[in-house]
Amino acid sequence: MNTPVLSFTDKGIYCPAGDFHIDPWRPVARALITHGHADHSRWGHDSYLSTDAAAPVIRHRLGDISIDTLRYGEQRRIGGATVSFHPAGHIPGSAQIRVEVAGEVWVASGDYKVSPDGLCEAFEPVKCHAFITECTFGLPVFKWAPQATVAADINAWWSACAAEGRPCVLGAYSLGKAQRVLALLNPAIGPILTHGAVENTNEVLRAQGYALPDTVRVTPDLDPKQHPGAMVIAPPSALGATWARRFRGAQVAMASGWMRLRGVRRRRGADRGFVLSDHADWDELHQAIRETGAEKVFATHGYTDIFARWLGSRGYDARIVPTEFGGDEDIAEDTA
């Protein structure tokens, strides 16, 4: 029996021909990283390889690491494998990793979304024999509205609050979601303030040339009264903390795909919920898999049982793979 191009081990996805791991969750000698989120990019590996666009934020998060980079589409031979990185559309710099061994191609998608957002590099379908897919939102209930519709809703909410002289506090993951929200805002409505975790990431991405509006970092001595009608972007973990209480009379909202589920907004203590995700919805998952041409599909992190059964009913050789990647999008986050 031939050795598979990629196998699934207690350290992560492993390529025997190249002797490397993809997004490993335990320390390894050589790690190929799809993107900078904490569940995919962990400290402790001897060497890292990522896209040149992802490397700055990975360094920002992990500190002094040995990291090499590839441009999107650039190929590298590692042992008996040929690897390349291709846009995943998830967050700036995110990638799918294509691995070819003896003419057989497997793709590890990491996290992805198909619809372009105008900020990060747009998703690129990659033809392959086997596709490793997330299914964070692998249920039919998860279908996203057009981004322009969500942007209009957020700006209308902000405008109404600003007209009353009230601040808005919007919870969004520090890496990716926060910057996407920032790019959707209309700065003419009022000032935009940011939590330190968000602003630290903004600085890294601005230095790379990603276009973001002007923002003001929230520091201990900042007086909210000097910024009436402000939009405040903060990690979800800050919403119920002392940090957010300085913004008296604020309306609080969350931006997340999980806002599609009834009751999640209430449990998070938010006044509003905006359905905005950096992961593929139900239709996009199917579109992405279909466009790969893959016959074999491995479902990881998310609604794996339901999604794999649905794929099997459509003729795919679909299997479930347990991983240690997070499945809670930006509600259980805040290490970035």
Quickly count: other Cβ atoms within 10 Å of residue 266's Cβ. Answer: 10
- Asked if residue 296 lies in contact with residue 317, where contact means CB atoms within 8 angstroms, the answer is yes
pTM: 0.94
HSE toward the beta carbon, residue 156, CA cutoff 13 A:
8
Give CA separation, 96 vs 291, 315, 327, in Å. 14, 24, 18
Structure-block tokens of residue 86: 């291709």
Q: Mean pLDDT in runs of 10 for the chain (336 residues)? A: 89 97 97 97 97 98 97 98 98 98 98 97 98 96 97 98 95 96 98 98 98 97 95 94 93 94 72 95 97 97 94 96 68 38
H or E segment to which residue 312 belongs: helix 304-313
State how far the Cα of 289 lies from the Cα of 134, in Å rounded to an integer.
Answer: 11
What pLDDT is attached to residue 267?
65
What pLDDT is attached to residue 266?
65
What pLDDT is attached to residue 317?
97
Contacts of 327 (CB under 8 A, 6+ apart): 136, 301, 302
Angle between the N-to-C axes of helices 177-184 and 196-207, in degrees from 0 to 180, rounded to the nearest 10 = 80
User: Which of 123, 179, 187 is CA-nearest to residue 155?
Assistant: 187
State how far the Cα of 317 lies from the Cα of 131, in Å rounded to an integer.
Answer: 11
Write down how long the chain is. 336
- Asked if residue 134 lies in contact with residue 281, where contact means CB atoms within 8 angstroms, the answer is no
State how far the Cα of 323 lies from the Cα of 10, in Å rounded to an integer.
Answer: 9
Quickly count: other Cβ atoms within 10 Å of residue 11's Cβ. Answer: 15
